[in-house]
Amino acid sequence: MDLQWMAWTWPTALFFAAIALILAAMTAWEIASPTVARRGFLPMETTRGDRLFIGLLGSAYIHLAWLALGDASLWIAFGIAIVWMAVVMRLG
């Protein structure tokens, strides 16, 4: 199958591979140990999947805000997003 029209690049392929890996890992985790909804600092009860979604969406916004606000390296935004993701998954 010719996928030239999709204009793949290595960074975007790695990005989607990482997302797919996260989803596969979450599914395996869910099967091994089903999630229990709980309430953390987020203003509602959340499951593990909810917190992953909120974490990923928040990470996207952190990167966009970083791009909008200055010219500093995007790796710093990536670091902040990792911290945000960990905080949401653990304490959200």
Partner 1 sequence: MDKPWNNRAWLLVLPVVAIVAFSAILPLMTVVNYSVQDIFGPGQAYWVGTEWYRKVLEDERLRDALLRQMLYSLAVLAIEIPLGVAIALCMPSGKGWRTSLTLVLLALPLLIPWNVVGTIWQIFARGDIGLGGAALQRLGLDYNYTGDPLDAWLTVLAMDVWHWTSLVALLAYAGLQAIPPAFYQAAKIDGASRWSVFRYIQLPKMRGVLIIAVLLRFMDSFMIYTEPFVLTGGGPGNATTFLSQFLTRMAVGQFDLGVAAAFSIIYFLIVLLFSYVFYTFITKVGTGDAR
By CB under 8 A, tell whether 37 contacts partner 1.
yes
Q: Which residues make Cβ contacts (< 8 Å) with residue 30, sequence separation at least 6? A: 48, 49
Select 25 or 45, whichever has its Cβ closest to partner 1.
Answer: 45
Q: How far is CA 14 from CA 10, 23, 29, 33, in A?
A: 6, 14, 22, 28
Could you say which of 17, 28, 53, 83 contacts partner 1 (CB under 8 A)? 53
Could you say which of 14, 17, 61, 79 contacts partner 1 (CB under 8 A)? 61
- Judge contact between 39 and 91, C-beta under 8 A: no
Could you say which of 1, 36, 75, 90 contacts partner 1 (CB under 8 A)? 36
List interacting residues with partner 1 (CB under 8 A).
4-9, 11-12, 15-16, 30-31, 34-37, 43-45, 47, 53, 57, 60-61, 64, 67-68, 74
